[in-house]
Amino acid sequence: MSIAYNLITKCPETGARLGVLKTAHGSVQTPAFMPVATQGSVKTITSPELEQMQTGMILGNCYHLYLRPGVEIIARSGGLHKFINWRNGIITDSGGFQIFSLGGMRKIDDNGVTFTSHIDGSAHYLTPERVTRVQNMLGADIAMVLDHCPAYPSSYEEVLRAVERTTRWAWRCRQAHLRTDQAQFAVIQGGVYADLRLRSAKDLMAMDFHGYAVGGLSVGEPKDLMYEALDTLGPILPEHKPRYLMGVGSPDALLEGVKRGIDIFDCVLPTRIARNGRVMTADGYLTIRNAVYAADLSPLDERCACPVCRGYSRAYIRHLLNAGEISGMRLTTYHNLFYLAALMEEIRQAIARGDFGRYYREKSPILKKYYGGVV
């Protein structure tokens, strides 16, 4: 079996779920946040450092790896796990979101997507079958189907066409998927329209995928609309299959997603903002590049147990960042990923104790400090 999801317990007050996602490369305690390794690497962080944080799974991107270094060299090396020296789980995104973000550099038809490489301007044509074969060659534990992700805002008619295309493409990906040791997840679309979300989910559930992702959110819509979409889907998704919310990584949204039954999340947010000098703390975001921290010898977060907070001051990290030292970005990135890993562990413990409802009521006002930031 490619993967197995074991539901351990549920919060009696909310939709929060505690589970274990078992893959050929180990188990992931859920709910969990996955760092993004777009091109086979979590920027500035090594695999051993991710293992220190007990990271059970990372996300690679089919679009980027297809363009560079190319799937053939990865396949010859024995697959993505061996190529990047990663022993735990990997999901590969189909690249649909990246392709549709290219704007005028791509053209969509019912058979697939024609796009121009952002690297060298070369022309490419990807179909659902081609995307599936590429992911078969990469050999990740979980492969995502090619979906049509409409922008926000989009009209009802535009989102309806995207839902219908996503369903057709999902069926073609299902038929083209050949690896029995690799799971395949469908991507539910529908924008902020509840009836289209339900239609997309029901059409995809009829194909019996190994798991279901919620896509087309965290693309600029207000967070309240994202939560409404999750509220719509939570009651109908299969209980004994994993649920994945794509592209979400702010602490407040993680908590709200867990409350609505999401098992796994991914986002570039924690690593991207870290490289720009912004870190997550118990008091909200902190922009360490600001001059006010030039002589601040306290850690990034007094309440954080990560090696960065135990060993380095705000003044030193600010100095590294402003001097252009890569070690500054490494330290802020490590801290942000550790912060989220610790948050998810705290959430799992609350569900296991049976008091996630109380935990949510206490934690939600604190994490609302992040609401004004990007998702």
Whole-angstrom Cα distance, residue 295 to residue 326?
21
Closest-CA residue to 118 (of 180, 68, 84, 80): 68
Neighbours of 186 (CB within 10 A): 28
Strand order in the sheet with 3-10: 3-10, 17-23, 26-30
Active site residue 93: yes
**Chain centroid, CA 105 distance in Å:** 25
Token couple for 156: 């009802």
Instruction: Give catalytic status of residue 224 as yes or no.
Output: no
346 backbone dihedrals φ, ψ, rounded to 5°: -60, -40
Q: How far apart are CA 68 and CA 118, in angstroms?
A: 11
**Which one of 93, 141, 203, 301 is the catalytic residue?**
93
Phi-psi region at 214: left, alpha or beta (left = phi > 0; alpha = psi -120 to 50)? beta
3-class secondary-structure state, position 18: strand
From 203, 252, 266, 301, the catalytic residue:
266
Sheet holding 183-188, edge to edge: 32-34, 264-266, 243-245, 211-214, 183-188, 142-144, 89-93, 57-61
* Helix spans in the chain (H): 47-52, 62-67, 71-76, 80-84, 96-100, 128-138, 156-176, 194-205, 223-233, 251-259, 269-275, 307-311, 314-322, 326-353, 356-367
Helix, strand, coil percent content, the chain, rounded in steps of 5: 45, 20, 35
Positions annotated as catalytic residues are 93, 266
